[in-house]
Amino acid sequence: MKVTAHYAHWPDDTPGTLTLEGTEYLIKVKARSFVEDGFRNQTWITVDFGDHTYSVRNVHGVAETQTVEHNSGCAMKVNVSHF
């Protein structure tokens, strides 16, 4: 699988794009590593997998992840993890 991720180093920055390739699990690991290895607080990356979106944000050196499941209705399920 090949996906285009969007990232920035601050919430108000214009997002850049990054191509990630591999299984869904490997893409999530790469996205998380991108944020964890980044040098700036508030670096974030978002990957859209079609049926859900995976996001990671650096909050004072801690990678926070969020998964939002896309449904055909209005409701969305949000899971947030702090590592």
If we measure between CA atoms, which residue out of 45, 54, 49, 60 comes closest to residue 8? 45
Q: pTM of this prediction?
A: 0.79
| Amino acid present at 38 | G
User: Cα–Cα distances in Å, from 43 out to 14, 33, 50, 73, 77?
Assistant: 12, 11, 23, 31, 24
Reported confidence tier of residue 6, pLDDT bands at 50, 70, 90: very high
Count: domains in the chain: 1
pLDDT tens for each residue of 28-66 = 999 999 998 876 778 999 999 988 999 999 988 888 888
- Given a cut of 50, whether residue 75 has pLDDT beyond it is no
In whole numbers, what is the pLDDT of the chain averaged over residues? 84
Domain span at 74:
2-82
